[in-house]
Amino acid sequence: MSADHYKVLFTGPAGAGKTTAIRTISDHLPMMTDVAATDETRDRKPSTTVAMDYGVIRLGRDEVVHLYGTPGQDRFDFMWEILQEGALGLLVLVDNARPDPVGDLTRFLDAYDAFIAATGVAVGITRTDVSAHPPRQDYVDLLARRGLRCPVFSVDARDPRDVSLLLQSLLYCLDPEASPA
């Protein structure tokens, strides 16, 4: 039986866990383009994505989801638009331990404004074990102010259950008729 193929895109600031999330749920060893970080990200983690991540997950019997991840750093933002092509929806990961994570989310919602309007978005708040502040409600309020109703979860990018729940909630929200796998 031939499967339906979908593409989703993970984005968000450097260190939010995009590469980790894709690696966590991918059925096969993902393709990564991480190089040793030489800039300010080096203090936080040893490597950073310079082009893209790519993994794949089969959901149920007949759905294959292709997982693409962007670089987080602004200097590679030319990849953000390229990677949107053909994607069904966007997963924004934000690192709750950064100085202004709600501002980070605002920046990514702005950057992907037209894409989100045409597709859909879900938000994963990572590193809530490192910083419990700001609360989830701050993100919900921001999304509501922008007229966006979408899933918002606290996720640990290292936990396959968290990441796949976020992914499935995005897919479900894009197509409520679809049965979650």
Ligand X SMILES: Nc1nc2c(ncn2[C@@H]2O[C@H](COP(=O)(O)OP(=O)(O)OP(=O)(O)O)[C@@H](O)[C@H]2O)c(=O)[nH]1
Any contact of residue 124 with ligand X (CB under 6 A)? no
Encoded one letter per residue, x for contact with Mg ion by CB under 5 A and - for no contact, window 32-51 reads: -----------------x--
Any contact of residue 55 with ligand X (CB under 6 A)? no
Any contact of residue 143 with ligand X (CB under 6 A)? no
C-beta separation of 15 from 72 below 8 A:
yes
Which listed residue (19, 73, 164, 169) binds Mg ion by CB under 5 A?
A: 19
| Strand residues in 60-170 grouped as ranges (E) | 63-69, 89-95, 121-126, 152-154
Indicate the residue among 62 and 129 with the shorter CB distance to ligand X. Answer: 129
Indicate the residue among 47 and 119 with the shorter CB distance to ligand X. Answer: 47
**Cα dist. 72→51, 66, 164, 173, 174 in Å?**
10, 19, 21, 25, 24
**Cα dist. 20→36, 85, 153, 181 in Å?**
15, 22, 17, 22
- The reply to whether omega before 134 is within 30° of 0 (cis) is yes
Q: How many whole angstroms separate alpha carbon 174 and alpha carbon 35?
A: 34
Which listed residue (15, 89, 120, 151) binds ligand X by CB under 6 A?
A: 15
Indicate the residue among 5 and 161 with the shorter CB distance to ligand X. Answer: 161
Residues that bind ligand X (CB under 6 A): 14-20, 41, 45, 48-49, 71-72, 126-127, 129-130, 156-158
Residues that bind Mg ion (CB under 5 A): 18-19, 49
